[in-house]
Structure 1
Amino acid sequence: MDRGPVRGMAAAGALAVALTVTGVGDAPESATGPESATGPDERPVHRSAPPTASFLGMPAELACTVSDILEPSCGVWWGASPYRDDVEPLESAVGRDMDIVYTWRGIDQAHVPGERERRMVAEGRFVHTNIEARRFERQGHPAIDYADIIAGRFDDSLRAQARGIAELGVPYFVTFDHEADGNQRYNNRGTPEEFVRSWRHIVDLYRREGADNAIWVWNVTGWEGNLDRLPGLWPGNDYVDWISWEAYNMTHCDTMPHWDGVDSFEEALAPAYEWIQREGPRHGIDPDKPVMIGEMGTTDIGPRETLRWYADIPRVLREYERVRAVKVWDNKVSSGCDFRIGANRFARQGFEMAGRDPYVNLPDRVRRLAEYAHGRDQGVGDHD
């Protein structure tokens, strides 16, 4: 293998962009997965993570670094998988832009990134695209077997994707077949070993096509009942830049009849976080890799409770220092399982309040420098 992704925040200064920022995290002046609902039949039993380093009390002037894989040292990127693939209504409703926007594509689609992704990049957002093991060019988006990927049957479209991402010249988050540990996917499209071989095949192909700006995000469900499946699905530290999972509360969700009670955002993210930190190393998983909460949200749990669920997110993030990006899933599974921010004014108010917190408001100066981090790295030499 010729190249591997950067591991965590680049310790060598050549792989990070360092700057002195005055007033980092100043609040803005104005305050205004489609399959993620699947999981084990029984709800997980959560444990709270012990407090770690806190961002609270830091001076306004500090050195902020952003690595070439877009890991910030001074806060958390804030993003969304938007309703009907249109992020602007959400941004207008909550009075801020999203740092990252999640998009969904099929492995058979050659034109990735598409016009929508290119427009968002041009407007200054980062894009995270999940490449599904599905044929998006066919009606119903039928799933394909991992064996077909390993055999190279989709190499032409994958090469075109890699070249398209490389041409952008900016860091671009990519996931292959998110939530491979979920009940609807695990051992259905192939074995865990075949998932790993498919992941590595795609990453190697992208690298051969020059897509070194692709940032690889391994995404799982985060369900406690699925954690024992993760070791067999791990592609290896040289093939993963970020580790990602979901943080949902699904009270009253008609697709989750066994969901009793309410899980806070912290209770939803903690089991996988603790597992990675405690068990990851013995399975070859680097616990120092940055974490992305790939999707999160709650169903309606009452006015005050729904608002508080979202508003409490920045406080929780300060206690889980490896989490460096969060995206809300602004969508619905069914009429009885709705996570849309715009459909619930208390969800909107809570998400708006959370989005104003300095910890999830990285300064524009940090964002601009992040866009150049990968470009600067190209003159440094190959990653080991």
Structure 2
Amino acid sequence: MRRVAFILAFAMLLAGCSFGKKDEQPPQPPAPDLTSAPGAVAVNKGPFQSGPVAAPQRGALFGAWIKPDALTHVGRLAAVDSLQSDLGRPLKIVNTYRRFEQMVGTPSDKEFLARGSTLMVSWATGDNRSILDGEHDDLIRKQAKAVRKLKVPVLLRMRWEMDRPNLRATMWSGADYIAAWKYVREIFREERAKNVSWVWCPTAEGFIRGDAPAFYPGDDQVDWTCVDVYAGERFEPIGDLMGPFLTWAAQRPKPIVIGEFGVAKAWGSAGRAAWMKDARRTFKVNPQIKAIAYFESNPEGNGPKKQFQLTGDPPAFKELESMVRDPYFNP
């Protein structure tokens, strides 16, 4: 029934749009149906094999990626400080992105760690077959040493969203990705980078399509399972969007981190607020979800269906505040 309601709502939205009046706001879809049970199936209660970054026994750690005005030490600190000030609490997890050649251990990384946050490093490794050919061994060893020097546990998302169709030219196949994952992890082992919890993080869409599981390296290789899930193109409850992933993850003794989640500006303040409220209860009824990280960003060049920043949208941001002030998300 929820899915039908969302389809009808979307049809109403299209029917009501006026493309001739630029200043007129299009009608917004109705709020998600919060009266029915969330699509919650990740009920594996452990014990979990989570690596150096331990999963809380109860509740879930809250974190975020906050796009800075400038990708500098000052800019990164200012972005995180601003959100923490607005929320009235520190982030337990700070998500940070790195290209293949960018090392961890920057001044801002060290500052976040000094404040007690856990880094979740989203590392965009390159072509899997060139990795397996040994072309990047020096770079991978350098990164392993940089991680080791942090001397604190780190979450590492090696080439997150590897299942995206637009990455197939460098991922090649699930088998290639798995082989590259094992290759990189072996180099980290050789460099004694033992402070890494390895996070495998595909997209919710990849599980809806059915191709994401082919990229899974195995329970012996992964410490945390993960998913990125957005109400962007599809305005549906978060439990429906990530339901296929949760069904799969429940079969594995791994804690779950929601690596990125967000609701797009296109769905209006009321719709966004309701979606966030539903996300809060969905996370809470999934005991296997042990960490979440909001994607507080409007990437440049993206339209309203790919703009997820809640700051500046009071009703939606209020629901984010309610979530992070819930003791469940401050274990």
Common fold by TM > 0.5? yes
For the pair 1:329 / 2:313, whether they are aligned, the reply is no
**Conserved in 1, the CA contact under 8 Å of 2:256 and 2:291?**
yes
**Conserved in 1, the CA contact under 8 Å of 2:256 and 2:288?**
yes
CA change 1:218–1:304 in 2 (3 A) is same
CA change 1:348–1:108 in 2 (3 A) is same
1:221 to 191, 203, 212: 203
**Conserved in 2, the CA contact under 8 Å of 1:223 and 1:272?**
no
1:317 counterpart letter in structure 2: F
How much has 1:113 moved relative to structure 2? 2.5
For the pair 1:292 / 2:274, whether they are aligned, the reply is no
Partner residue, 1:318:
284
**Conserved in 1, the CA contact under 8 Å of 2:42 and 2:246?**
no
Q: Deviations over 1:66-125 (max 9, x none)?
A: 97432111210100011224312111122211110111112223x322222111111111
**Conserved in 2, the CA contact under 8 Å of 1:165 and 1:211?**
yes
CA change 1:189–1:74 in 2 (3 A) is closer
- Normalising by structure 2, report the TM-score: 0.77
**Conserved in 2, the CA contact under 8 Å of 1:108 and 1:154?**
no
CA change 1:214–1:132 in 2 (3 A) is same
1:100 counterpart letter in structure 2: I
Indicate the RMSD between aligned Cα atoms, in angstroms.
2.3
**Conserved in 2, the CA contact under 8 Å of 1:312 and 1:354?**
no
**Conserved in 2, the CA contact under 8 Å of 1:329 and 1:340?**
yes
Partner residue, 2:328:
359
For the pair 1:127 / 2:92, whether they are aligned, the reply is no
CA distance in 1, matches of 2:208, 2:269: 31
Structure 1 residue runs of 4 or more that deviate by more than 4 Å after TM superposition: 50-54, 224-227
Q: Deviations over 1:352-374 (max 9, x none)?
A: 11111110012xxxxxxxxxxxx
Secondary structure of 1:312's match? helix
Q: How many residues of Structure 1 are paired with residues of Structure 2 in the alignment? A: 277
Partner residue, 2:221:
239
2:87 to 94, 103, 107: 94
2:96 to 84, 103, 106: 103
**Conserved in 1, the CA contact under 8 Å of 2:58 and 2:287?**
no
Structure with the larger helix share: 2
Q: Deviations over 1:173-221 (max 9, x none)?
A: 1111111111211354422211111111111111111111111000000
For the pair 1:149 / 2:139, whether they are aligned, the reply is no
Unaligned runs of 5+ in 2: 1-37, 69-75
For the pair 1:77 / 2:61, whether they are aligned, the reply is yes
2:318 counterpart letter in structure 1: Q
- Normalising by structure 1, report the TM-score: 0.67
Partner residue, 2:314:
345
What are the equivalent positions in structure 2 for 1:20-39 lying under 5 Å apart?
A: none
Partner residue, 1:375:
none
CA distance in 2, matches of 1:323, 1:151: 36
CA change 1:92–1:186 in 2 (3 A) is same
2:320 counterpart letter in structure 1: F
For the pair 1:185 / 2:171, whether they are aligned, the reply is no
CA change 1:187–1:303 in 2 (3 A) is same
**Conserved in 2, the CA contact under 8 Å of 1:112 and 1:165?**
yes
Secondary structure of 1:88's match? helix
Q: Deviations over 1:3-23 (max 9, x none)?
A: xxxxxxxxxxxxxxxxxxxxx
CA distance in 2, matches of 1:219, 1:102: 13
Partner residue, 2:109:
117
Q: Deviations over 1:213-272 (max 9, x none)?
A: 11100000021665522332111222110000012111xxxxx4xx4xx21222223221
2:256 counterpart letter in structure 1: V
CA distance in 2, matches of 1:48, 1:296: 16
**Conserved in 1, the CA contact under 8 Å of 2:52 and 2:196?**
no
Partner residue, 2:27:
none
1:313 counterpart letter in structure 2: A
1:217 counterpart letter in structure 2: V
How much has 1:340 moved relative to structure 2? 0.6
**Conserved in 2, the CA contact under 8 Å of 1:224 and 1:271?**
no
Partner residue, 2:140:
158
Q: Deviations over 1:34-65 (max 9, x none)?
A: xxxxxxxxxxxxx92359599xxxxxxxxxxx
Partner residue, 1:22:
none
CA distance in 2, matches of 1:225, 1:174: 21
1:150 counterpart letter in structure 2: L
Secondary structure of 1:316's match? helix
